[in-house]
């Protein structure tokens, strides 16, 4: 079972057992992302994913891994490591997992909560219209977020509560 995943540079040939995750499509980029997976039995292996690397997150609660690249959002089963679903050309720029185990994604304008499937999404309401959303770090069950206020271009610092998924402007 996958318990950890991290983006790495291309490994040396033979350094890890490798699995290629490529979706046949003539419009994909020539970029690749390498993810090192660690299993609960301490074995490590590497996945190659089509697209430039953005983020990776593991949810023990939903027993899956989301890998975000410039070309796809991949959903892998934590037990088998198999691809269960994907989304082509996602607009998402940020990905994290909440302390409760739910995935949180942001495109340029919106934040969404994803449970165990990519179709199981919930829009997060924000007190302002956002642009250029970036996730930073978790602290005391609060996710630090920065963005620009849409049309005014004021830089704004926000917090997302990891329990209620409510967004508030930082004081």
- 35-54 pLDDT, tens digit per residue, is 999 999 999 999 999 999 99
Predicted confidence (pLDDT) at residue 90 exceeds the cutoff of 90:
no
| Contacting residues for 118 by C-beta, under 8 A, at least 6 apart | 73, 75, 85, 86, 87
Digit-coded pLDDT (tens) for 92-140:
999 999 999 999 999 999 999 998 899 989 999 999 999 999 999 999 9
Q: What is the DSSP letter of 153?
A: -
In this prediction, residue 153 carries a pLDDT of 85
- Percentage of residues in the chain having pLDDT higher than 90: 91
pLDDT band per the 50, 70, 90 thresholds, residue 27? confident
Closest CA to 101 of 162, 59, 138: 59
What does the H/E/C string look like for 100-116? CCCEEEECCCCEEEECC
Place of tokens 């919106």: 110
Residue with tokens 């934040």: 111
The torsion angle over the Cα atoms of residues 159, 165, 166 and 170, rounded to 10 degrees, is -10
């Amino acid at each position: 079972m996958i318990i950890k995943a991290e983006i790495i540079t291309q490994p040396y040939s033979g350094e890890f057992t490798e699995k290629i995750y490529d979706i046949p499509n003539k419009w994909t980029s020539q970029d690749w992302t390498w993810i090192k997976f660690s299993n609960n039995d301490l074995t490590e292996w590497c996945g190659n994913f089509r697209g430039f690397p953005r983020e990776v997150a593991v949810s023990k609660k939903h027993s899956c891994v989301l890998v975000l690249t410039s070309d796809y959002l991949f959903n892998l089963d934590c037990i088998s490591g198999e691809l269960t679903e994907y989304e082509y050309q996602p607009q998402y720029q940020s990905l994290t997992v909440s302390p409760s185990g739910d995935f949180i994604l942001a495109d340029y304008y919106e934040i969404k909560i994803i449970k165990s499937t990519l179709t199981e999404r919930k829009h997060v309401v924000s007190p302002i219209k956002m642009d250029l959303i970036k996730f930073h770090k978790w602290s005391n069950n609060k996710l630090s977020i920065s963005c620009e206020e849409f049309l005014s271009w004021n830089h704004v610092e926000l917090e997302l509560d990891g329990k209620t998924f409510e967004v508030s402007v930082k004081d």
